[in-house]
Every structure is written in C-alpha cells, then in structure tokens.
Chain A
Amino acid sequence: MYPQQVHDYLVKFFEENECRILNNDGHYINVQLTIDMDKKIMNRPYYWKYLESINGEPNPAQLTLITDQNNLMEGGIKGEVVHFGSPRLSQLFQTTKELGAFVQMYEKVNKFEKNIILTPWLGVNYKISYYSDQTKEMLYSLGINLMTGNLIEEFQESLREVDLDPIMTEGVFHLPYIIKPIRALERLDLVIDNIVQQDDHTWAEEAKERWQKDQEVLEYFYTGIEKKPECYDMERKAMEEQYEARIKIEVLNGGLFYMK
C-alpha cells in the first residue's frame, strides 16, 4: 500500500464512521473521533469508566495521522506516522473487520420501473488458511439464491455491477426466502469443505516428510537411552506444533442481498 492509498483508506474509514475530518491536505489528516470510535481505538477504558461514573462531559480525542511525512505542505505538524505495517493501521484494519462483517442490502430500483420483485441471496466471503511450518491463504466468495438454491462463485465480484442500498426502494417488494439463511450458510460451509477436500495437499505431505526427517534425527540422538529425558518429549512436542498440517476456515463477512 502506497502512502496515497493509506491516506484514502483513512479518510474513507473515518468518514464512514462519522468522525469529522478537521484538516486534510492529502498527506496528513486531523480527525475528531466520535465517542464510539474513541472507545474502540484509543485504548483508555478507565477514562470512559470514570467519566461515566461522574456523569462528566465526554471529550473524545482528536487524532493527527501523517501518511506522507516527506510531502507535508506546512511545517510543524506533529502526529502519528501511519504507513502499511504500522500498528495503528493494523488496528484500523481490525476495526474495519469488526464493523464490516454483516450487511443486508437491497438493489436500487428506478422509480418508474413497475412491479419489481427482488430475490433474496446469501453471500459469504470465506478465508481459508493452510498452516504447517509454512502458510498459504485463499479467499472464496460464494453466493446462494435463497429461492432456488442456485450457487454462484465470485459472488463479491458480481456485486460490483449492482447498485445496492441498505434501504429498500419504496414500492418495491421482495420474495420471502424458501431456504432459511442459516440452512443456506450450512450449505455454503459444505461447498467450502468440498473445495478444501478437492485441493492439492502436497504441501501437507511435504510438511509430514520434513517432520519425519527431523523425528528420525531426534530418535538417533537418543538411541540406546532407556529413560529418555524430559527435553526429548519437549522436542517431539515442538515438532508436532511446527509441522502438523492444519487448515483454518473462517468467515470474513457476509450478508443478505435482495436483487432483481
């Protein structure tokens, strides 16, 4: 992420969370946090607890975040330097994840169109991680039609074409779903399981081979020793944690989508 991308991200993030941007010269921003955002990212629970106990006037913080220190227009700006990899940005990514996990969206409909009925979909974005002593991650975006059970891959991409809004256009109707969203979610989970099963798992085989090799070396070290010391078991345990193949499946985000 380049400084410009980081900057745009910050502006968008705070605007969407209703934090007022007081200054923005393209290389730094000065932002007034809302009470909610202060509680989320400023890490000062005692202040808020105290304030609430005395019923005081809340005074959420202002933050100055510098995204491109080399191009600041005015001198003397003091603030936190934010770049890809910095703890602040990681924290905001995490906050974005918490605040952008569940949606319900309706396709916008032109007022002059008549008798439009929207169809419900469940869309879910999955992140799959393979772990041994190495890692690899994949994203899958799946959608399922809650009337027909029809499946779509790359669902998130297909939404780019659609104009969506959290509120349904007036005078438009949507069908009640036949497949319950929770059942549909279970169906998608199975699809993901299937994808994982069909995948090439040479990586796991290879990790196992590395494991076995190390194991043999260890056994050799302790050949002929009747009562093996504690550190032998420790080494075995360390190897298990190091090489054992694991797959982690998590839902990144998802929601209900009503579309034409």
Chain B
Amino acid sequence: MIIERSSEWKEGFTNRLENLEPWQNWTLYNMNYEIVKANLITDFYGLQSPKYLPNLTPLNHQLKVAETVIERMNGKAILADEVGLGKTIEAGLILKEYLVRGLVKKALILTPASLINQWVEELNYKFYIPAIPYKKNTPIEYYDVVVMSMDTAKKSPHKELIYAQDYDMIIIDEAHKLKNHKTKIYEFVQGLKKKFCLLLTATPIQNNVFELFYLISLLKPGHLGNYEAFQSSFSASKHSLEHDDYLRELVNQVMVRNRRQDTGIEWTNRRVQIIPIDFTKEEKEVYEMISELKNMCPVFSDTFSMITLQREMCSSKEATQLTLSKMREKCVELKEIEYMESVMQKLMALEMNSKAEKAYEIISQANDKVIIFTEYRASQAYLQDYLYSKGITSVLFNGKFSKSKREWMKQLFKEKAQVLIATESGSEGINLQFCHHVINYDLPWNPMKLEQRIGRVHRLGQEHDVHIYNIAIRNTIEDSILELLYTKIGVFEKVVGELDDILTAFKKTI
C-alpha cells in the first residue's frame, strides 16, 4: 500500500518556531478544523454530491443511477436511460461525486458539436463544475474540465493534445456514435485512458447486437469476451441471437437503464399508430417503372441505389427527381435514356402526393402544433410549399443550423408557425415539449432514430398525451422497412430491455 505524506506543514511550523513567520489566528484555526470535520467523507458508500448542490433536486432514479455506477460498477458504465430522463444530470452527479471525493481532478467530455454549450452551461450552473468549451488553441493543460466535440477530438492536432493530458474521467454523450469500430472516433476513444468512464446513449443497439458488443468492448474490453467468443457463444448474427438471458445479465453489469414507467413520475401517454395508405394509380405506375429500372439499366443493378430511389418515391417526386436526373447522366445506351426520359416525364406529370395529403389531413384534424420528420431535404422544401398552399404556416429545421438559428426557429415554431418540418439531422438536442403531435413522414431504417425523434416531445415537462403518426405506403419498400424495424426492436428488447412504443401500440412478436 502506498502512503503519501507531505512535509509542508512541518516546514511552516519550523518557520514559526524560528520566528521567521507569524503565528496565526485562533478563531480561523478552529473554523478550519470545524469545516474540515463537517465536510469529512466518513464512509466509502453513499453520495456526498447532493449536499453540495442545494439548488438541484435530482429525481430518485437519477440518484440511484449515480450510486449504482459508483458503488457497483466502479465508475465505468453505459448510462442508457430512455430519452428525456436526464442522463446529463446522472453524469453530472457522478462527476461531482468523484470531484468531491478527490478521485477525479481532470475530466474530458465528448459530445456532438451541437450539445457543447448545453453541457458547459449545465455543468457550470447546475453542478458548479468549472467546465469550458474547447476552442482552437485553448490551452487545455490549464483547464480541469473540458467539453469538446467528438469530431474535433479525433483529428490532429487536437487528438495528440488530448492524449498528452492525464484525464481521470471520460464522459461521452450520444455514445451510439461509437457503434462502428472501424471509425476514427472509435479508434480515438479506444486509445484514451479510461480510469472512470461514462457512455451516454438511449440507444445502445441501433441496428444489430454487435454495436453493443463494440460499445462494451470500448468500456471494458473482454466483458463480453473477444469477438470470436462473443459470436460463437451467443450464436450472434446480425438480427438474431441465442442465450439472450445470459447476455442480458452480462450487459446489466455495465449498463443502467431506466424506463419512463420505472421512474415513479407520471408520464403522459404515447399514442402511436401506423397509418397505412395507398398510392394513387398514377403514383403506383411510376413506382413500378422505377422498380423496373434495375432490369433496364446496369446503373441500377446495385440494390442500394434502387432502394434509395424507391424510398424517395415514397416521399416526394422532388426527392426522386433529384436522384433520378443524377443517374440519367450515367446512362449511355439510347434505350436506357429513352426509358429514363419516360419515367421522368411520368414522374413530373404527377399532380398529387398521397402521403402529403395524408399529412395535411392529420395536421388539420390535430388542429395543433405538429412536427413532421422527413429524410430528404427536397421533400422538406416541397412540404413547406404544399402546406403553404393549404394555408398552413411552417418553419424548417435541420442539424446544420447554428445554435442561434436553432433557437430562433424553435421560437418561431412556438409562437408563429403551426408546423415544424425537420430532417433527420435535426432530431438531436432540441426539446419541444410544447408540441404533442409527431408525423414520421418517412420511416428511417433504424428504430432508435424514431425513438430519438419522439423523444423531442415526449420528455420531462410534457403535459399532454403525445400522438405519433407513422405513415407507410402499402405494397412498397416501406413494407420491408416496417418489417425490419420490428425485427430490430425485437433484438433490442431481448438484450437491452423493453422499449416504449415507437411503431405501434401493438407488439409484434418475432
């Protein structure tokens, strides 16, 4: 065992004995003793941090998470609460606890760029942790708690700068961004020393169970065995696995997850439904012509571009047209070009968009604020035009907006417009509890994206029931998307735990 002592006091005392420095004040001497005595951490267990945070009232589940992570998981964990339960508060409590106990001196927080300021503010104002946002040329060796974007951190020269520091704690927000072990950011985090480490994500599995394997291997390599062992012992393939009870047990040793219903807080209901609709005869014709393309032109032989086109056709002709004209340039044979021309012509001749009409119908019936999520910028613009022609005001939102523009759009939506039309990249880090209707105009491949979207409105502070409308066109690629979404939700629930409704209120068993 290592015993550290300092001779500092002895030197000061010697100086006083030799009359080199004056003796000090008796009252301050006693105050010093009393304060240290009052702040003494007399037990290895229990949380000290709450008494340092009189203006913060953490919820019970948040305190419990902090305690579990520190006492049972030794400060290395995945915080996987459902969206909106306060993972940031939990991470703040844990960091504060380690700071108070003197176990952490330097900490690094990695987040998506859009969340940096939010983290800095929460840490400073809620937790009195002097965190600073990293900017180019910030001398990080002088700051104990630094918040930085993942994209910056993984690049030189920032990467080398970080490696040169000696961080005691690493916190990574939106940690599902590390799901792919072949990325630069994964490699970067792998090379960081992780004495204490928190990975925050509501969606530790987005597509397949290997994502969770890689996430845990980052936190605690070997906890799920190495790759080969993991694959063979769970017969894991992308969307299915065996021995899931045992795996779940292992996962729970390094992951805490609260669901809304476990928190003891009254949550408003989530009313989720799939709204199946049909194409018009004309739309159907174009869709089929597009599907036929793979037999006509070699450019479309790869399934990816085919699927993209089909999905776009399910969204809007504007989205489709953009891709289609790009593809046409790659065609060489006259026959192909002629066929493409005829598809384009039919496409441009389409006068109505069944999905948009349905969305309009839902908005009119709701007679309230509505958020529409679409996957395509072209559809976003189209929808704004279309709604405008129907006398409905809307604002656009996407992830590329600066912080002030985001705030401005949010404000406009709250006060002026009825509808907010957002693309996928807009669905993180904006909170819109004043809205209670969400239309998923296009379905993403990944169920967790749906959860993130819904989480924008269904979170702490929501006072009304929340209505979710998932529009899907029958007999198209959207059938397969729905099918796959069900399968992925099934894997998630087997390994991580139950999910709140995201597709429909009725569970489908796989």
A99 / chain B contacts, CB cutoff of 8 Å? 24-25, 28
Q: Does A100 contact B (CB under 8 A)?
A: yes
A83 & B55 in contact (Cβ 8 Å cutoff): yes
B16 & A137 in contact (Cβ 8 Å cutoff): no
A252 / chain B contacts, CB cutoff of 8 Å? 32-33, 36
A 79-120 binary contact with B (CB < 8 Å = 1; else 0): 000011111000001001101111111000000000000000
Query: A1 — nearest CB in chain B belongs to which residue?
Result: B38
From the candidates A220, A247, A253, name the one contacting B226 in the complex (CB within 8 A): A220
From the candidates A86, A96, A230, A247, name the one contacting B28 in the complex (CB within 8 A): A96
**Which of B6-14, B110-118, B258-266, B476-484 lies at the interface with chain A?**
B6-14
Identify which of A242, A250, A254 gathers the most chain B CB atoms within 10 Å of its CB.
A242
B194 / chain A contacts, CB cutoff of 8 Å? 235, 238
Q: Does A46 contact B (CB under 8 A)?
A: no
B103 & A83 in contact (Cβ 8 Å cutoff): no
Identify which of A139, A231, A254 gathers the most chain B CB atoms within 10 Å of its CB.
A231
Cα A230 to Cα B187 in complex, Å, equals: 11
A51 / chain B contacts, CB cutoff of 8 Å? none
A230 & B54 in contact (Cβ 8 Å cutoff): no
Cα A84 to Cα B102 in complex, Å, equals: 17
A221 & B217 in contact (Cβ 8 Å cutoff): yes
From the candidates B29, B103, B191, name the one contacting A103 in the complex (CB within 8 A): B29
Q: Does B349 contact A (CB under 8 A)?
A: no
List B142-160 residues whose CB lies under 8 Å from chain A: none
Q: Does B190 contact A (CB under 8 A)?
A: yes
From the candidates B5, B10, B223, name the one contacting A182 in the complex (CB within 8 A): B10
B164 / chain A contacts, CB cutoff of 8 Å? none
List B217-239 residues whose CB lies under 8 Å from chain A: 217, 220-223, 225-226
B226 & A101 in contact (Cβ 8 Å cutoff): no
**Which of B39-47, B336-344, B386-394 lies at the interface with chain A?**
B39-47
A247 / chain B contacts, CB cutoff of 8 Å? 1-4
B74 / chain A contacts, CB cutoff of 8 Å? 133, 210, 214, 242-243
Query: A131 — nearest CB in chain B belongs to which residue?
Result: B103
Query: A249 — nearest CB in chain B belongs to which residue?
Result: B5
Q: Does B506 contact A (CB under 8 A)?
A: no
Cα A245 to Cα B40 in complex, Å, equals: 19
* With A127-B36, A135-B44 as contacts: A250 and B23 at CB distance below 8 Å: no
Cα A166 to Cα B30 in complex, Å, equals: 14
Q: Does B130 contact A (CB under 8 A)?
A: yes
A 214-233 binary contact with B (CB < 8 Å = 1; else 0): 10011111110000001100
Chain A proximity of B3: nearest CB distance (Å): 5
* With A85-B53, A86-B128, A221-B225 as contacts: A134 and B44 at CB distance below 8 Å: yes
Cα A35 to Cα B33 in complex, Å, equals: 26
B102 / chain A contacts, CB cutoff of 8 Å? 129, 131, 135
A104 & B42 in contact (Cβ 8 Å cutoff): no
B103 & A138 in contact (Cβ 8 Å cutoff): no
* With A133-B75, A137-B42, A217-B222 as contacts: A97 and B32 at CB distance below 8 Å: yes
Chain A's interface: helix, strand, loop or mixed, by majority? mixed
B222 & A222 in contact (Cβ 8 Å cutoff): yes
Chain B proximity of A66: nearest CB distance (Å): 13
* With A131-B103, A223-B226 as contacts: A103 and B23 at CB distance below 8 Å: yes
B128 / chain A contacts, CB cutoff of 8 Å? 85-87
Chain A proximity of B189: nearest CB distance (Å): 10
A231 & B40 in contact (Cβ 8 Å cutoff): no
B35 / chain A contacts, CB cutoff of 8 Å? 9, 93, 96
B10 / chain A contacts, CB cutoff of 8 Å? 182, 185, 251
Chain A proximity of B355: nearest CB distance (Å): 48
List A162-214 residues whose CB lies under 8 Å from chain B: 164, 166, 181-182, 185, 189, 193, 196, 201, 203-204, 210, 214
Chain B proximity of A19: nearest CB distance (Å): 13
B 191-234 binary contact with A (CB < 8 Å = 1; else 0): 11111100000000000000000000100111101100000000
19 further A-B contacts with Cβ under 8 Å, apart from A99-B28, A217-B221, are A84-B51, A87-B128, A100-B24, A100-B30, A125-B33, A134-B44, A134-B103, A135-B101, A137-B40, A138-B40, A139-B37, A164-B26, A182-B17, A185-B10, A218-B220, A247-B3, A252-B36, A254-B13, A255-B29
Give 17 A-B contacts (CB < 8 Å), ordered by A residue.
A16-B31, A85-B51, A99-B25, A100-B25, A101-B29, A104-B23, A136-B41, A137-B41, A139-B37, A139-B40, A164-B26, A210-B74, A217-B222, A221-B221, A247-B3, A252-B33, A255-B23
- B residues with CB within 8 A of A: 1-6, 8-10, 12-14, 16-17, 21, 23-33, 35-45, 51-55, 70-71, 74-75, 101-103, 128, 130, 168, 190-196, 217, 220-223, 225-226
